[in-house]
Structure 1
Amino acid sequence: MSLRKHHHNPNRQHDDSGWTKVWCVCGLIASWIAGVVTIGAGAFSLYREARDGGATQILMSHTWRELLPLGLNLAVTLLNDCMGYIHTCSLRWSLHREGKLDFNSNLRLLTAAKHSRPNRAIPNVLYLAGIIFSYGSTSLIFLSLNPELARLLGKSYDRNDADGVHANGVALLFLGIGFVLQAAITTWALLETNIPTWSSNPLAVARACTEDENDGHRLVPRVGRCMMGVHLHAEQTPRALKPRLHQSPMISAHHHVVRILMLLWSLPILGAIWGGSVYAYLVRGSRNGVYGRSWSLLPIFTGKTDTNCKTRQCTDGTSVLNMGWSAQGPAGTLGGVLVITIIQSIVTLALHCAELIVNLSRDEKVFRELIGPRGTNPRYSSIVAALTSWQTLFLFGLKAGVHWMFGLAINMQFQLGVNMHPPQIFYFAVFSLVAAILGLALSMWRPSGKLPPSYGHLQTIVDIIDDWGDSGCMFWGVKDQGDTENPGYTGTNPRALLQPDVRQLYGGQRDTAHMGHSGNQGHEFSGGFNTTFSPQTPANVSAPDVHWDWTQPQHPPGFRHHQSISSINSGFSEYSRTSWHSTQSTQPFLENPRW
């Protein structure tokens, strides 16, 4: 659906996060500029190389040549994430209109929407190729020629080529093509998709999915499931449950998490095997390599040999294995860039999948603000949330760091070809191990608190939240404590609620037939509770209406009289209640939020 078909709904209750869209569009424009500029720079560099017979030289020290790719990787990661956010929102709402949106966060490039052209399989493959090209080329843009390494490898070279670095036109073209591929598909998705909200907040997305303005599959709360988290989503029959102090982890909530962990843990394992194989090959005396004693983070080549060596030759620099073909000329450079990019694609795919684990963890953290001391944040900003989330920032740094270290592990030297450095390969394995440990820790984390987990599962959120509140601030807790015969009921309210008793069953439902708008449920109550739990009640059928006269001294069936708050006893043996008023909802809210 085109943006031109989207009409503003004045009755819309969710947050559309317009400023998030503005920032992402600015990032998209910057990506277009970066792509066009780098393509132009690459074409100009190749033109000069063909005209003058040599690559463009730039004065730069060896240390800067190794550190500059780290800055480039940070910039690439930032631009890729800006475009990726737009693509994520497009996929989210395309899946919603097809009735296939289960979680707020998804594997963006491995999930296709059938009826959304920019989110189909082929555009996703092209988008992934753009990400691989952009990351794979950053370490190959500036090629240096170390004369000491050339001498140790027995390679001939021109001493004039040892000054500064040489611009790699092929790598610049790959970087530009990577940006343009992503920017083109992102722009296509932006123009083709009607996006009700740009917020990454799972609560805002869930509320938008419940509103009538969405064409497609509107989410409807299922009764009797107020204590059933995402792990019980597949159960068709609602049932009453006792609250738990610690909830089940992410790894058992989302079926993709295990596969992502396997992919993440394959990186350090393969890296260790790769480094060990190259190291063993050098120790055996390879003619195409040099055994070095240095384990510095950045490769160094001093040219000082060591006669006390069991291999063919030893130095005090970094070990290196030369692949044996020259990178001189556009054809040789293209071959080297392709080889490194193809190998790096595995790293790119694994880190892209790791985003799902981080996003699921962040979604659950936002959801659990319902039981926090301040409730949910009514002024939620996706940009601020990303900048203040340690998981997001840590993964952002890891993506740039892992790609940078991979570029140090296998890179190109001007006129010397592709080189592998065993110490840097092992460091790459260590960086990858950190990413794998992060993914495992987040996936095994057991949230504390009695609120059932959702991990961004939208139907679960809609089942648990019964009062969205116009202010945007919500608290979760007990609305009816129940008794030995009838289960209690939990829900949300703009005011702080008591937490449920771990010894009591909860799973009843509140009759909403005569409630006002969802945002006003806490103030326009004219119905009552139906705490009689029936396992045979269909999930999409409301309970019979129960009414009574407020002026008469009677109480709704199954409801115990709420006494005024007088004291708070330790543990969960007693619950303080508020008075029963016709102007307030039936939930026992806390007069003092600090309780």
Structure 2
Amino acid sequence: MTRVRSLARRSGEEESSEEQKQPFVEQSTHEDEEEQGQDFDKASATRYGCIAALFVGVILSLVCLISGIYLLITNKAKLGASISISDTSREVISLVINVILALCTDGMMFMHSVSLRWALYRERRLEFNTNVRLFTSARVFGPNSWYINLVALSCLILSYASTSVLFLSDEAVLSSAYEQQESSKDPVLVNATALVALGIGLAGQAVVATWCFVSSKRLIPTWSANPLNTALAAIQKGDISHRPGRCMLSVHQRKMQSQETYPLEKQGNMLRGKNLVRYILVLLWSLALLAIAWPITIAALSKSIGNASAAGQASEALCWKLGFKWDQSSLACSRNYVTLSFSPYANDHKPNSAIFSYGTEAVLCVLFVCLIQGVQTIALHCLELLVNLSRDEGIWRQAHRDETKNAPGTQLVTNPFRAAVLSWENVFLFISKALMHWIIGQSLIPSVVVEDSKSFEDSRSFESIAYTSVENLTSLSLKNGFQFDMVYSRLIIYAILSIIVATVATFLALRRPKGCQPAALGHLQTLADLVDDWKTNGDGRIWWGDKTSQDGDQVRHAGTCREKSMVGPILCTAKYAGR
């Protein structure tokens, strides 16, 4: 009995001993977590915002596809629906559609961008927080492979191109031509072919975004676009780590060995930090030069044509003067446009020229604008790299502890929508996308017209045709066709916008940030080297500055801290290497 009590007492002491040890184990684990610092933000709000954008994209694609197919089936003669609205209303509606399209596509393709970032991470190829999404491909991951990127790019171009030919001037409605001259509203044809094309473009991007979300939702640690948060996630996942002795080495010095160095009062620019930037500038300035040449060419053709409807149709060139009116003008001496028809015979009236069917011209109309919009869409997509690099650098530079300026500190957790609205670069990019795609559509002015066929040899006057009903046009060997009226006064505005975009891009690429804080441009390893303490204060902020101890070390140290008062200004005359 005594032996049993002794065993029980011993067992109780062991349990008591284990209970006493357990708090120390938990405390030790907590201390390890404190040493590791802040956990990265998974950015669930951004994820939900992308899902909402995807939902809107799916709904819009279905609306466009269903309505477009319905109009194609029920209006086989015109391949669209006729409505009456003023020119101003049509221009405003087109602009609103482009704004909605830019919002929708940006939201859906953000999924594609995040998916690419972490696909590159898993392949150990992720260097920068920002990449050119459609021209950077993963080796294995399906939605980010080069061929899917090509599909996504084609759908993006198709979406923007179709909005340019969504509303057509219905000049084929001739039975009430004289009555319409006194009306403020003009007949407009809602292009069913363009509606279907828009639906296909949106549906293609929605499929790619859905594929990215479904196949990688468990493989994406964070949906945040914040470069600091991405760097912290990569550190905690074990891919990169802090390297001592590099507290003053920027992204431009990333290939140098760790060493002592003096701070630079001005940092390097994007052009030196990322080689791809120079090619983007070449592309944007090439687009600007083409945009300048376009109205010059149209003005020269307009002068040579005179008041004829197309080249080769005028017996004698009439007087001509340069005009800058927004509205299309065909009055004597002030013609400001040139007409391009899609049937070659309608342009030159040569017997050997081909004539396309109305349905073929409807498809060619969309494809023609795709060729024009394609170059611009690619250029604006590449501009995103410069904008996002500038955004990433701006987030990092908010951490600088500067005595002469208000140092708000940088945050690892940011509201993506608020950050986008407050970033002038993002606002400029968004406005450029919506406005430049819109102005191309307004400069081309697509329309449906009545064209004569090769067998039409009747000498009737246009006035006699004007009173012929649409149903009886076939008896006159006439057909409906598509044409573009390229207005050079509007193309001049497009050229000015292209120059502004290229100039802003050049400014972003050549701008050298001021201050001793090393530039990072969203380079993850550089951020991991510069940030030595990831813990944030109550507002989620950290500051960067001098952290040298007061014992007067010869080699100073710079780093981050959650307390603004714990970091000081950088001494430009001292060497820094750090720990």
Residue aligning to 2:497: 431
The residue type equivalent to 1:182 in the other structure is Q
Any residues of structure 2 matched to 1:396-415 within 5 Å, and which? 396-415=430-449
Deviation of 1:342 (Å) = 1.5
Deviation string, structure 1 residues 138-181 (Cα, Å, up to 9, x no partner): 1211111358xxxxxxxx95547974211101100111011000
The residue type equivalent to 1:176 in the other structure is G
Deviation string, structure 1 residues 54-86 (Cα, Å, up to 9, x no partner): 631112112222332211111110001101111
- Cα 1:177/1:25, change in 2 over 3 Å: same
Deviation of 1:484 (Å) = 9.5
1:284 aligned to 2:304? yes
Any residues of structure 2 matched to 1:425-574 within 5 Å, and which? 425-471=491-537, 472-480=540-548, 486-496=554-564, 497-509=567-579
What SS does the corresponding residue of 1:123 show, helix, strand or coil? helix
Contact kept, 8 Å, 2:119 with 2:141, in 1: the verdict is yes
| Structure 1: distance between partners of 2:357 and 2:422 | 46
The residue type equivalent to 1:190 in the other structure is F
Higher-RCO chain (CA-CA 8 Å, sequence separation at least 6): 2
Contact kept, 8 Å, 1:328 with 1:414, in 2: the verdict is no
The residue type equivalent to 1:508 in the other structure is G
1:364 aligned to 2:393? yes
Deviation of 1:332 (Å) = 1.1
Any residues of structure 2 matched to 1:167-178 within 5 Å, and which? 167-178=190-201
Contact kept, 8 Å, 1:479 with 1:491, in 2: the verdict is yes
What SS does the corresponding residue of 1:476 show, helix, strand or coil? strand
Residue aligning to 1:341: 370
Residue aligning to 1:551: none
1:263 aligned to 2:331? no
**TM-score, normalization by structure 2:** 0.78
Deviation of 1:500 (Å) = 1.7
Contact kept, 8 Å, 2:291 with 2:495, in 1: the verdict is yes
Any residues of structure 2 matched to 1:235-250 within 5 Å, and which? 235=256, 237-250=257-270
| Structure 2: distance between partners of 1:371 and 1:401 | 36
Residue aligning to 2:47: 21
Deviation of 1:393 (Å) = 0.7
1:211 aligned to 2:236? yes
Q: Say which of 124, 127, 133 aligns to 1:102.
A: 127
- 439-448 or 359-368: which moved more? 439-448
Q: Say which of 486, 490, 497 aligns to 1:420.
A: 486
What SS does the corresponding residue of 1:247 show, helix, strand or coil? coil
The residue type equivalent to 1:61 in the other structure is S
Residue aligning to 2:156: 131
Residue aligning to 1:226: 247
Deviation string, structure 1 residues 304-336 (Cα, Å, up to 9, x no partner): x33xxxxxxx34x63233346379832211111
Asked which structure has the greater CA Rg, the reply is 2
Residue aligning to 2:425: 391
Deviation of 1:90 (Å) = 0.5
Deviation of 1:26 (Å) = 0.3
| Structure 1: distance between partners of 2:155 and 2:280 | 21
Unaligned runs of 5+ in 1: 1-8, 148-155, 307-313, 510-595
- Cα 1:292/1:189, change in 2 over 3 Å: farther
Deviation of 1:266 (Å) = 0.9
- Cα 1:271/1:243, change in 2 over 3 Å: same
Residue aligning to 2:205: 182
Deviation of 1:343 (Å) = 1.8
1:37 aligned to 2:63? yes
What SS does the corresponding residue of 1:414 show, helix, strand or coil? strand
- Cα 1:53/1:435, change in 2 over 3 Å: closer
Contact kept, 8 Å, 1:482 with 1:489, in 2: the verdict is no
Q: Say which of 334, 337, 351 aligns to 1:319.
A: 337
- 58-67 or 288-297: which moved more? 288-297
- Cα 1:380/1:118, change in 2 over 3 Å: same
Deviation string, structure 1 residues 474-501 (Cα, Å, up to 9, x no partner): 1111122699984211111111210221
1:354 aligned to 2:383? yes
- Cα 1:368/1:30, change in 2 over 3 Å: same
Q: Percent of counterpart pairs with the same letter?
A: 32
The residue type equivalent to 2:200 in the other structure is I
- Cα 1:143/1:29, change in 2 over 3 Å: same
**TM-score, normalization by structure 1:** 0.76
- Cα 1:42/1:508, change in 2 over 3 Å: same
Deviation string, structure 1 residues 456-484 (Cα, Å, up to 9, x no partner): 01100000001000443211111226999
Deviation string, structure 1 residues 1-40 (Cα, Å, up to 9, x no partner): xxxxxxxx9x981011101111111010000000111011
Structure with more of its chain in helix, by fraction: 2
The residue type equivalent to 2:302 in the other structure is L
Contact kept, 8 Å, 2:171 with 2:187, in 1: the verdict is no
| Structure 1: distance between partners of 2:120 and 2:82 | 49
